[in-house]
Chains A and B, each alone.
Chain A
């Protein structure tokens, strides 16, 4: 069963980006110090969030927290 109304489809992703995209990008750009990398990070974050939409449970963490967790995980696994 899919617990997330959002993120399950393109409209959900669009809404999630509208709500959190700027903030994620700002965080990524500051942390990475590179705008192109930050764009890649944000794209990858939403793609992964969409792929993992089944695992998203707003009762455990709100969407914003979840997206930031994905972004951080991606950033730390990416390596130099």
Chain B
């Protein structure tokens, strides 16, 4: 049975197991344990934990890395930069929510960037802005897509097209009103295996935006 005195003894159990109480106290504790089955059980459980302590990697507990002191400011300025960019874009945009769904395949201009990535600019209908940057990754192709002005609430699929016309999906998104969307998508197809980037509605599969990707060098 657990009594008030058991509580006091149990507080000393851990110290005892770690060898941190003096001999007199140790004797008294032993005497209590001899007569108290529930405290003995507690001692056995605690003892098992104490036995494992040398295996713990203390450095992992102590060395919690702290961020560089300027990281917070970098985070805030990153957000401020992007906020300023999207305000500029929004000013240049004509009324959104147009009937883009009556889609037509659009021409696009292409610009290869220095680091092997490829920038694609879509000639979107008025009210819609879209641009994409493709980059080769070990796992396939990363697609950064900035798009605004698509009818809100509609779900779109993004895909890479191979030269034979087959597609590798890169994900779906729901268009939102108000703000430009910045999407980072991934497709398990190497960049040099892709000949086009397209965006279509998931409802009827109609292609809304499409851009050819030039063959790599």
Contact = CB atoms under 8 A, between A and B. Distances in A.
B217 interface: no
A17 interface: yes
Nearest to B77: A10
A25 B74 CA distance: 13
Contacts of B82: 47, 50-51
Contacts of B76: 10, 13-14, 17
B85 to A, nearest CB: 12
B72 interface: yes
B138 A80 contact: yes
A54 B152 CA distance: 14
Contacts of B181: 51
Interface residues of A, number: 25
A9 B84 CA distance: 11
Given A21-B67, A30-B64, A54-B176, 5 more contacts: A21-B75, A25-B65, A25-B71, A39-B74, A47-B82
A62 interface: no
A42 B79 contact: no
Interface of B: prevailing SS: mixed
B182 A79 contact: no
A47 B66 contact: no
Contacts of B139: 79-80
B155 to A, nearest CB: 15
Nearest to B68: A39
Given A47-B79, A47-B82, A51-B182, A35 B65 contact: yes
Contacts of B138: 79-80
Contacts of A80: 138-139
